[in-house]
């Protein structure tokens, strides 16, 4: 029995109409009609929703998943058979359409005939459901002509492969198949001595296809491919600067996948220097985007915006709607990284239209995932789930496992915030599997931490600890913050301090300590060194301006109150990470290079989340902070920012309502401590800061809520209370 027959039977058993079922699962009734008619197959996310609404038993739910998987495999086999026959110019029998017109009269077969397989294309379908060729590619297909000589036939065949692959890449469907066509075309072109500019065009398309397939292993292949293309260009003397810039971008992306940060930036700078003098062409779309991304990484936000707005303008004038959508999507990502959540969400929404107009399914799915993530950061769980669900469907259709995993991760966080621990765990498991297949160990480790937390809440402690142990093993040297995330979850899971210490000892033996850049995972009892003189003390009983404080609120949407302490109320999205430096802070100057600063931190009330602490600020590229609440309500973290790179130095945990935090700076060494009573102190971590002059010091609050750690909506953001503040100097 097929999946559509099963669903029709279960729906009738439940007494629901198509419209009522569609409303219950959050889809249109026409889409549910297509699912029941068999013209489209339900995604995993929709299967979960249907199983819940139709109240399927465990056996029925398993049967649904198995049947859908079998139907999907058979559909792929049919499309592959037709493609192989088409490329051999063999006649094919039309595959019987699964469409039941009487069951779903709203779905019409009046979409016209596919010029490759002579069967109908459904108007609602993104691609021909019979041969698998994207709808937008049907007009681009070039039938192989039988020329008078072998060279003519070869050239026509190469063009056919290229245009089919180009159309497939444009919408993001059948990328594995597109890779096969381009590889064949390149092999034929090399043997037939194809003109260099034509061959390089194939190289660029293949590089972009590898990029969108999302496999980390393709990094080296992309670099080698681009270098080969550039050598051919130089040897031929062809003045194809567009192709050179595009190939340079492919090489840059390959280096980024390989983790070669210096080569990645160098390549992008070389490409961007060529762009200024070149008229726009489709091949220059990617170099513009990468120039903006490197600008973001280097803190040149205005330069990044200039690149993106220039691209949107020239692409609009050239009729390249896909490039317009890509430019807006990247600009929205920049706004999101700056902490401008609502503006970013609006821009992501605007990016959807040009992507859809151009039939660019891959960027449409990417945009939906990023929009879902942004809604999540704003505490809008229902809207986040809707967009994540849509992203999952599109990415399953595209076959991009990297973004499929990310979309499942966001959906899982939304369900986690709703207290649906098991459902969240299922989505996290899917995401882990996707990242495992793409070879992205950093995302795999992060998702395993989320899975561990969901399982802990579901009461499955043994499996949870196994997930967290694997996350620690996978954490790379460049991910010490991820190690802190995992250790915070482990310490929260085990109530016995001795058990936690044994867990950490075992992890150190497995090499986690080395991978964590010597992250201090357990606070060490320590004696503090008190400087000779307390130069400043404040319990915030009076107004702030009377005591030399400076209030900084970059986004203008946070506030503070004094009187029996200092309360800082922080809006969602305000942070001190990456290029998001929007957290509100109260700072003052310190005249001495060596000093100690100490505060007492509490909560404004039991319901409100509190994140914040002590800030040492030299400039936007260099700072240090000791904060409570980021990795858990009672977790304490010491984080350093050097040359715009944020790194967790150490962490600890104190289950108290009032926490004493202390930072000491002596020479180039900065140390962080915590205490539950101000008498018995623990060292959280230490780092070197070889900076000229003393920093500005102060207090801050954070509104960047990691909802995979803190389940909830928190629509009002966070609030933190500082009971006292004191500075000691020599």
**Residue 318 is assigned to a structural domain of this protein:** no
Tokens 């990617």 locate to 286
Classified as helix, coil or strand, 568 is strand
611, 635 Cβ separation under 8 angstroms? no
- If one counts every other C-beta atom within 10 angstroms of the C-beta of residue 458, the result is 16
CA torsion angle 353 358 359 365 (round to 10) = -50
Q: Between the CA of residue 649 and those of 457, 476, 521, what are the distances in Å? A: 28, 15, 9
Per-residue pLDDT, 717: 92
542 and 683 share one domain = yes
66 and 103 share one domain = yes
Domain final residue, candidates 178, 194, 210: 194
Q: Give residue-wise pLDDT tens across range 350-404.
A: 999 998 888 788 888 899 999 999 999 998 999 999 999 999 988 887 778 888 9
475 and 565 share one domain = no
Angle ∠(326,330,334) on CA atoms, nearest 5:
170
- CA–CA dist 142, 532 (Å, integer): 84
Q: Is 188 exposed, middle or buried (0-12, 13-18, 19+ CB in 10 A)?
A: middle
**Residue 224 is assigned to a structural domain of this protein:** no
Average pLDDT, stretch 312-326? 91
157 and 129 share one domain = no
CA torsion angle 444 445 451 455 (round to 10) = 140
Q: Give residue-wise pLDDT tens across range 710-729.
A: 998 898 899 999 999 999 98
Per-residue pLDDT, 519: 67
Res. 92 pLDDT band, cuts 50 70 90: very low
pLDDT at 496 over 70: yes
Domain hosting 600: range is 524-729
**Residue 172 is assigned to a structural domain of this protein:** yes
Domains identified in the chain, total number: 4
628 and 500 share one domain = no
**Residue 439 is assigned to a structural domain of this protein:** no
86 and 163 share one domain = no
Per-residue pLDDT, 546: 64
How much is the mean pLDDT over the chain?
81
- 3-state helix, strand, coil split of the chain in percent (to 5) is 55, 15, 30
Strands in 635-642's sheet, in edge-to-edge order, are 550-552, 585-588, 696-701, 612-619, 622-628, 635-642, 645-653
**Residue 305 is assigned to a structural domain of this protein:** no
Per-residue pLDDT, 173: 63
**Residue 314 is assigned to a structural domain of this protein:** no
Per-residue pLDDT, 509: 63
Beta bridge partners of 639: 625, 648
Per-residue pLDDT, 324: 94
The number of angstroms, rounded, from the C-alpha of 92 to the middle of its chain's C-alpha atoms is 42
pLDDT at 97 over 50: no
Domain final residue, candidates 484, 515, 546: 515
Per-residue pLDDT, 198: 80
Average pLDDT, stretch 28-39? 77
- CA–CA dist 493, 458 (Å, integer): 12
Per-residue pLDDT, 103: 28
- CA–CA dist 320, 316 (Å, integer): 6
- Residue with the larger pLDDT of the pair 281 and 25: 281
Res. 266 pLDDT band, cuts 50 70 90: very high
Lowest mean pLDDT among 101-105, 134-138, 624-628: 101-105
- Among residues 177, 150, 145, which one has the least CA distance to residue 164? 177
Angle ∠(118,121,125) on CA atoms, nearest 5:
155
128 and 146 share one domain = no
Q: What is the sign, positive or negative, of the torsion defined by CA atoms of 318, 322, 326, 332?
A: positive
Q: What is the sign, positive or negative, of the torsion defined by CA atoms of 667, 668, 674, 680?
A: negative
| CB contact set of 462 (below 8 Å; sequence gap of 6+) | none
- Among residues 27, 25, 19, which one has the least CA distance to residue 54? 25
Lowest mean pLDDT among 450-454, 493-497, 633-637: 493-497
Per-residue pLDDT, 473: 84
Q: Give residue-wise pLDDT tens across range 424-451.
A: 999 999 999 999 988 888 899 999 999 9
Best-predicted range by mean pLDDT among 174-178, 227-231, 568-572? 568-572
464 and 609 share one domain = no
594 and 505 share one domain = no
pLDDT at 460 over 70: yes
Whether this prediction's pTM lies above 0.95 is answered by no
- Residue with the larger pLDDT of the pair 480 and 615: 615
Domain final residue, candidates 88, 112, 133: 133
620 and 492 share one domain = no
pLDDT at 83 over 70: no
- Residue 178: both structure tokens together: 């597109």
26 and 86 share one domain = yes
57 and 159 share one domain = no
Tokens 């809440």 locate to 457
pLDDT at 286 over 80: yes
Lowest mean pLDDT among 311-325, 417-431, 485-499: 485-499
pLDDT at 510 over 70: no
Per-residue pLDDT, 172: 65
**Residue 381 is assigned to a structural domain of this protein:** no
- CA–CA dist 289, 307 (Å, integer): 7
- CA–CA dist 710, 631 (Å, integer): 9
Looking at residue 22, which CATH number applies to its domain?
1.10.260.40
- Among residues 595, 584, 600, 615, which one has the least CA distance to residue 719? 584
Q: 220 phi and psi, to 5 degrees?
A: -65, -40
Per-residue pLDDT, 613: 97
Lowest mean pLDDT among 126-130, 575-579, 600-604: 126-130
Looking at residue 623, which CATH number applies to its domain?
2.60.120.200
- Residue with the larger pLDDT of the pair 143 and 364: 364
**Residue 613 is assigned to a structural domain of this protein:** yes
- Residue with the larger pLDDT of the pair 348 and 86: 348
Best-predicted range by mean pLDDT among 213-222, 267-276, 556-565? 556-565
Percent of the chain with pLDDT over 70: 84
Lowest mean pLDDT among 53-57, 80-84, 231-235, 533-537: 80-84
């Amino acid at each position: 029995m097929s999946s559509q027959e099963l669903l029709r039977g279960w729906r009738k058993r439940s007494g629901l109409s198509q419209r009522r079922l569609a409303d219950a699962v959050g889809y249109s009734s026409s889409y549910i009609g297509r699912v029941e008619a068999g013209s489209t197959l339900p995604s995993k996310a929709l299967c979960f929703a249907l199983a819940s609404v139709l109240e399927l038993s465990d056996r029925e739910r398993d049967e649904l998943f198995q049947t859908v998987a079998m139907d999907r495999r058979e559909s792929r086999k049919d499309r592959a058979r037709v493609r192989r026959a088409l490329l051999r110019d063999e006649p094919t029998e039309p595959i019987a359409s699964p469409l039941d017109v009487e069951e779903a009269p709203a779905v019409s077969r009046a979409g016209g005939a596919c010029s490759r397989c002579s069967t109908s294309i459904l108007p609602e379908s993104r691609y021909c459901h019979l041969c698998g060729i994207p709808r937008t590619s049907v007009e681009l297909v070039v039938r192989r002509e039988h020329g008078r000589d072998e060279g003519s036939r070869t050239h026509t065949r190469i063009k056919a492969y290229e245009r089919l692959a180009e159309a497939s890449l444009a919408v993001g469907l059948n990328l594995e198949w597109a890779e096969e066509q381009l590889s064949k075309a390149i092999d034929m072109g090399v043997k037939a001595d194809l003109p260099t500019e034509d061959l390089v065009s194939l190289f660029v398309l293949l590089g972009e296809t590898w990029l969108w397939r999302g496999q980390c292993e393709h990094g080296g292949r992309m670099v080698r491919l681009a270098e080969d293309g550039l050598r051919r260009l130089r040897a031929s003397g062809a003045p194809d600067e567009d192709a050179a810039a595009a190939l340079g971008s492919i090489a840059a992306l390959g280096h980024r996948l390989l983790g070669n940060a210096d080569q990645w930036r160098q390549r992008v700078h070389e490409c961007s220097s060529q762009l200024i003098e070149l008229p726009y062409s489709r091949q220059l779309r990617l170099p513009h985007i990468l120039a903006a991304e490197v600008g973001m990484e280097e803190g040149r936000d205005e330069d990044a915006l200039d690149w993106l707005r220039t691209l949107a303008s020239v692409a609009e004038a050239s009729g390249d709607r896909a490039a317009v959508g890509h430019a807006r999507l990247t600009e929205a990502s920049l706004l999101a990284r700056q902490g401008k959540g609502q503006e970013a969400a609006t821009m992501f929404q605007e990016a959807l239209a040009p992507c859809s107009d151009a039939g660019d399914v891959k960027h449409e799915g990417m945009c939906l995932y990023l929009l879902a993530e942004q809604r999540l950061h704003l505490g809008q769980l229902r809207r986040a789930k809707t967009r994540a669900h849509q992203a999952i469907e599109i990415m399953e259709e595209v076959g991009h496992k990297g973004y499929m995993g990310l979309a499942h991760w966001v959906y899982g966080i939304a369900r986690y915030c709703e207290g649906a621990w098991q459902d969240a765990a299922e989505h996290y498991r899917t995401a882990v599997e996707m990242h495992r297949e793409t070879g992205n160990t950093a995302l795999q480790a992060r998702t395993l931490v989320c899975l561990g937390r969901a399982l802990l809440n579901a009461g499955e402690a043994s499996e949870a600890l196994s997930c967290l142990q694997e996350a620690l093993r996978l954490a790379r040297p460049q991910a010490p913050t991820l190690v802190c995330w995992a250790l915070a979850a482990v310490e929260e899971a085990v109530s016995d301090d001795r058990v936690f210490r044994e867990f950490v000892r075992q992890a150190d033996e497995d090499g986690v300590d080395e991978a964590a850049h010597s992250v201090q995972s357990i606070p060490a009892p320590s004696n503090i060194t008190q400087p000779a003189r307390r130069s400043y003390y404040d319990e915030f009983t009076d107004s702030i301006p009377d005591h030399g404080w400076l209030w900084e609120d970059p986004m203008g949407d946070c506030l503070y109150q004094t009187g029996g302490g200092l309360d800082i109320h922080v809006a969602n999205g305000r942070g001190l990470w990456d290029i998001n430096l929007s957290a509100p802070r109260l700072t003052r100057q310190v005249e001495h290079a060596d000093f100690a600063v100490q505060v007492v931190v509490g909560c404004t009330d039991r319901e409100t989340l509190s994140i914040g602490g002590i800030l040492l600020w030299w400039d936007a590229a260099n700072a240090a902070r000791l904060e409570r609440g980021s990795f858990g309500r009672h977790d304490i973290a010491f984080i350093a920012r050097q040359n715009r790179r944020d790194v967790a130095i150490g962490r600890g945990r104190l289950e108290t309502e009032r926490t004493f935090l202390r930072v000491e700076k002596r020479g180039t060494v900065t140390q962080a401590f915590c205490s539950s009573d101000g008498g018995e102190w623990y060292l959280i971590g230490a780092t070197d800061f070889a900076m000229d002059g003393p920093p500005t010091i102060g207090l801050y609050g954070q509104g960047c809520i990691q909802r995979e750690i803190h389940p909830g909506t928190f629509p009002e953001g966070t609030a933190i209370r500082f009971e006292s503040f004191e500075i000691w100097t020599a």
